[in-house]
């Protein structure tokens, strides 16, 4: 029966039962019956439901095999219950397609997330500098800017989901687990520096959870980890020096576009490392507030990150005859004709 999937798709689009019923030509009560598996829509109504909810008809019959566990939101008080339902529905849909693809492979080529390297003892926020350095060393990342955080985390077995749900600036990220696999959710609408900070922050939770002193604020600790992981202290000292009486905003702008960390976060980084005084940091943040930079920083935003790993793996499975064209089209949510054209590169011809 299709009830649970219909309810989830309706939540993802924000339709009320009455609005969805109007869109497909049935009563709100009939929508309720469909969702409670009391009644089954005809093939014609099912096609209309798929069109109204922007899903393929196969979506309604896909077994619901995954559930989010250990869900932790970073959200503002303005995040409504309806918005959270939309985000969760989108996340579950994407996660289900990921896991369906993974289960079709004899041996899925992405390893499970596992971080077992010994971490230095953490007794203060300053110690987290060494934790970030330890993780970089363990993953052979060096000290240079990280070109793509999504690629990095996906290669380590973290499922990164980019939601296109309009989060209205009320949502700062989500971390959960599906079985043993960690899931991190960011918004497609965020600038890249905000995506990257959220990804690094949630990585901090994954690595440092249960390893922090009881009295330490875990959110502050993960903020410090994110900054240190994205912008190592050697890079800060190299660009700004060891001690400054003032920092030009343009310097922060340059750092932002080299390391993918916001100007505000770069300013905090300079303060955390003692390059500027707390008084100067407060003074510069007053300038940020006066110029509206706390809401939108000046100049071109740092490019948003995207992911193509799922699409790549679908085509790889297709090429290795692990899945059929129809299954690939279903997983990629595209018409079979479009998939066939993409395989022979017709859409690439001008």
3-state helix, strand and coil shares in percent for the chain, rounded to the nearest 5: 55, 10, 40
Q: pLDDT per residue over 62-99, tens digit each?
A: 665 677 788 787 766 667 777 778 888 888 888 888 88
Average pLDDT over residues 169-177: 79
Question: pLDDT value at position 77?
Answer: 60
Rounded to 10 deg, the angle between the 325-332 and 81-104 helix axes is 160
pTM of the model: 0.82
Question: pLDDT value at position 233?
Answer: 95
**3-state DSSP of 145-158:** CCCCHHHHHHHCCC
Q: Single out the residue of 313, 347, 349 nearest to residue 332, CA to CA.
A: 313
Q: pLDDT per residue over 151-171, tens digit each?
A: 999 999 999 999 888 776 777
Q: Is 68 within 8 Å of 92 (Cβ atoms)? A: yes
Chain centroid to CA 213: how far? Answer: 28
Where are the chain's structural domains?
A: 1-64, 309-348
Residue with token string 């924000």: 14
Q: Single out the residue of 144, 106, 98 nearest to residue 311, CA to CA.
A: 98
Q: Which residue has the higher pLDDT, 269 or 209?
A: 269
Could you confirm whether domain 1-64 is CATH 1.10.260.40?
yes
Q: pLDDT per residue over 243-262, tens digit each?
A: 999 999 999 999 999 999 99
For the cut 90, the answer to whether the pLDDT of residue 142 exceeds it is yes
Lowest-confidence segment of 101-105, 207-211, 297-301, 307-311 by average pLDDT: 101-105
């Amino acid at each position: 029966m299709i009830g649970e999937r219909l309810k989830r798709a309706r939540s993802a689009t924000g339709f009320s039962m009455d609005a969805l019923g109007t869109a497909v030509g049935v009563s709100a009560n009939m929508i309720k019956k469909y969702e409670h598996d009391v009644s089954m829509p005809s093939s014609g109504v099912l096609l209309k439901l798929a069109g109204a909810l922007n899903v393929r008809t196969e979506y309604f019959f896909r077994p619901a095999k995954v559930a989010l566990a250990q869900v932790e939101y970073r959200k503002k008080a303005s995040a409504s219950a309806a918005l959270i339902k939309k985000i969760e529905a989108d996340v579950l849909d994407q996660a289900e397609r990921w896991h369906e693809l993974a289960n079709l492979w004899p041996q899925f080529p992405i390893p499970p997330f596992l971080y077992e390297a010994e971490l230095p003892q953490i007794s203060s926020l300053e110690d987290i500098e060494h934790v970030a350095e330890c993780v970089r060393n363990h993953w052979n990342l060096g000290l240079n800017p990280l070109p793509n955080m999504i690629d990095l985390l996906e290669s380590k077995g973290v499922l990164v989901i980019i939601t296109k749900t309009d989060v209205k600036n009320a949502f700062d990220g989500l971390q959960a687990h599906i079985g043993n696999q960690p899931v991190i959710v960011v918004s497609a609408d965020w600038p890249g520096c905000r995506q990257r900070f959220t990804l690094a922050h949630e990585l901090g939770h994954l690595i440092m959870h249960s390893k922090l002193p009881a009295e330490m604020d875990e959110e502050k600790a993960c903020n410090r980890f994110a900054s240190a992981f994205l912008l190592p202290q050697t890079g800060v000292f190299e660009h700004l020096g060891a001690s400054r009486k003032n920092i030009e905003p343009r310097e922060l702008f340059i750092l932002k576009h080299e390391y993918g960390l916001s100007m505000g976060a770069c300013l905090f980084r300079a303060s955390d490392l003692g390059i500027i005084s707390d008084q100067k940091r407060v003074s510069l943040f007053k300038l940020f507030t006066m110029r509206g930079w706390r809401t939108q920083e000046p100049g071109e935003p740092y490019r948003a990150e995207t992911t193509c790993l799922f699409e790549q793996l679908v085509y790889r499975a297709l090429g290795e005859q692990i899945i059929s064209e129809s299954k690939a089209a279903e997983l990629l949510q595209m018409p079979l004709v479009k998939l066939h054209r993409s395989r022979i590169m017709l859409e690439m011809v001008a």
